[in-house]
A and B are shown apart, each in its own frame.
Chain A
Amino acid sequence: MNELLKLIEKNARYEVKDLSACLAEDEGVLNKKIEDYEKDGVIAGYHTIINWEKADVEITKAIIFVSCVPERVAGYDKIAERIGRYSEVESLYLISGKAEFLLQVNGKNMREVSNFVAHKLAPTEGVNGTETMFVLKEYKKYGVSFFEDGNDGERLLVTP
């Protein structure tokens, strides 16, 4: 497993000089590696995990199953590309099971998400059905738990 990627996947804010100490690698070498990963799309972006509820900002999220018929030659990729272009779509997966795609969609409110489904997603060429589930509460995102009273075990100050 790539140690560098694993480290910055958990915390994108590590400084290169600290990464260099932890991984016992030269700073210049690491900078070059990161640059190459960015160029090659291995590092596809840097995001911050925000608990919007706590920030008191209202956003509406929905999980949507999308059924569709694959196209000749291009299969599902062409339809995925069409759906993925919408900025409302936060994540998009081809899945096994009852539908072909699973989407995570963000909007300011329910109406905005509904409009997206009715006017943009459902009429997309190749799409023949959608099932929308609104998210009521987020508990954990990208491996980070939003529970506050999780762990309160305390270590002693000095032990043998």
Chain B
Amino acid sequence: MIFDEEINQTIRYIKPSGIRKFFDIAATRKGVVSLGVGEPDFITPWHIREAAIHAIEKGRTFYTGNKGLPVLQEAICAYYKRRFHIDYAPKENVIVTVGGSEGIDVVLRALCKPGDEIILPTPAYVAYAAIIEMAGAKVVEIELKEEEQFKLTPEALKNALSEKTKAVILNFPGNPTGGIMTREDYAKIVPIIKESGIFAVTDEIYAELTYEGKHVSIAEFEEIKDRVVIINGFSKAYSMTGYRVGYILGHKDLIAMFNKIHQYTIMCASTPSQYAAIEAAYNGDDDIEEMFQSFKQRRNYIVRELNRIGLKTHMPQGAFYVFPSIKCTGMSSQDFCETLLEEENLALVPGDAFGQAGEGYVRISYAYSLEEIKIAIEKLEHFLKVHS
């Protein structure tokens, strides 16, 4: 490419997202059935959409303060207190961001110095590694294992630590594995985080989709709370992906630093979307419950069906993905997905798009109606028969 030498060399060598590549192939085909989407299929509940419309009607279309509307900051803190029993102060501990994605960027850019190491349990959501590299830090991967229900173990964390470690990234419930961490699981790694003095950056975007027991945030552990940064948002819990509203919660001195990046790059999140988010945070608990039940039923359905057709699938405890092993087919995850798309017109996401640890797996989203899932299962069953 013609600008290769002139461009920032770090950006030049960052790999484009494996998902993007797959999307480009799928987009050239007609009639593709997809279980490849990372967003809920529900239309945003009407009362939330109406709040955004009302904001526009009333001319609430100016910039807000950098850290977001004060009422939304209060709503977010009240929400975290009500749902997860953690106290944050609206004025000091919150920044409203453009989706969780901006939160990830801001936090990692603020924390990482060149030479730092960031521990990243993988398979992981595609953005973390790229942003860490863009910030000039080094990714140290921990491979999450299916036989350990894709949990982060104290042994693995200890082994990954070094003098240079700045932070560990936690994403439970996780994309793409659906793995969760219980209070007991966290209790085992909290002392390691405390002793080593690293930060814990916890992306809790799938918190409301925790199927067995309630979601536990590592910020619950008072002994390390000052070193925990929470990233969350409205996208997955309320089916508000297109609104782009997320937030960061953390110690006030960290928030002040994060806000420097946020204010110069973003200014503020979309104002009508912030009004919609206020409505969601105060009056959306029933919507969460309804979507939760539906996702849980689909999860049960798809796991049973995948195992029936011969793909060994672990029952995920969170999010809306299953991550079955395709090792029995002898194909790489890229080959599997490309051939599946070619022969059956069915799009799944190859596991290696989420890091090398995802090789041998595929990510299947069940954010689809039961009817759509059924059609996809039929296609997959046919594909497996042909290739066994």
CB < 8 Å neighbour of A159 from B23, B301, B304: B23
In Å, the complex CA distance between A6 and B26 comes to 36
A21, B305: Cβ atoms closer than 8 Å: yes
Interface residues on B, range: 20 to 34
Shortest distance in angstroms between B355's beta carbon and chain A's nearest beta carbon?
A: 12
A67-99 contacts to B, CB under 8 A, are: none
Task: Across the interface, name the chain A residue whose C-beta is closest to B299.
Answer: A22
Q: Note all chain B residues with C-beta closer than 8 A to A3.
A: 293, 297
Shortest distance in angstroms between A118's beta carbon and chain B's nearest beta carbon?
A: 41
Shortest distance in angstroms between B52's beta carbon and chain A's nearest beta carbon?
A: 14
Of B38, B126, B298, chain A has the most CB atoms within 10 Å of the CB of B38
Q: Note all chain A residues with C-beta closer than 8 A to B305.
A: 21
B21-35 contacts to A, CB under 8 A, are: 22-23, 26-27, 32, 34
Q: Note all chain B residues with C-beta closer than 8 A to A24.
A: 300, 304
CB < 8 Å neighbour of B300 from A6, A22, A151, A156: A22
B38, A160: Cβ atoms closer than 8 Å: yes
B41, A156: Cβ atoms closer than 8 Å: no
Shortest distance in angstroms between B316's beta carbon and chain A's nearest beta carbon?
A: 14
**Is B89 part of the contact surface with A, judged by Cβ < 8 Å?**
no
> Which applies to chain B's interface (DSSP): helix, strand, loop or mixed?
helix
Q: Note all chain A residues with C-beta closer than 8 A to B43.
A: 151, 153
B321-359 contacts to A, CB under 8 A, are: 347, 349, 353
**Is A155 part of the contact surface with B, judged by Cβ < 8 Å?**
yes
B-binding residues in A (CB < 8 A): 3, 6-7, 14, 18, 21-24, 151, 153, 155-160
CB < 8 Å neighbour of B34 from A7, A23, A158: A158
21 contacts between A and B (CB under 8 A): A18-B301, A21-B300, A21-B301, A24-B300, A151-B43, A155-B41, A156-B23, A156-B37, A157-B32, A157-B34, A158-B19, A158-B26, A158-B34, A158-B37, A158-B349, A159-B19, A159-B23, A160-B17, A160-B126, A160-B127, A160-B175
In Å, the complex CA distance between A3 and B300 comes to 13
A23, B300: Cβ atoms closer than 8 Å: yes
Q: Note all chain B residues with C-beta closer than 8 A to A21.
A: 300-301, 304-305
Q: Note all chain B residues with C-beta closer than 8 A to A158.
A: 19, 22-23, 26, 34, 36-37, 347, 349
B39, A7: Cβ atoms closer than 8 Å: no
In Å, the complex CA distance between A21 and B301 comes to 5
Q: Note all chain A residues with C-beta closer than 8 A to B347.
A: 157-158
CB < 8 Å neighbour of A160 from B125, B293, B374: B125
In Å, the complex CA distance between A14 and B294 comes to 14
**Is B309 part of the contact surface with A, judged by Cβ < 8 Å?**
no
Q: Note all chain A residues with C-beta closer than 8 A to B349.
A: 158
In Å, the complex CA distance between A127 and B127 comes to 70
B45-81 contacts to A, CB under 8 A, are: none
Q: Note all chain B residues with C-beta closer than 8 A to A22.
A: 297-298, 300-301, 370
In Å, the complex CA distance between A160 and B236 comes to 13
Task: Across the interface, name the chain B residue whose C-beta is closest to A155.
Answer: B37
B147-206 contacts to A, CB under 8 A, are: 175
A23, B297: Cβ atoms closer than 8 Å: yes
Task: Across the interface, name the chain B residue whose C-beta is closest to A19.
Answer: B297
Scan B241-284; emit 1 where CB is below 8 A from any A CB, else 0.
01000000000000000000000000000000000000000000
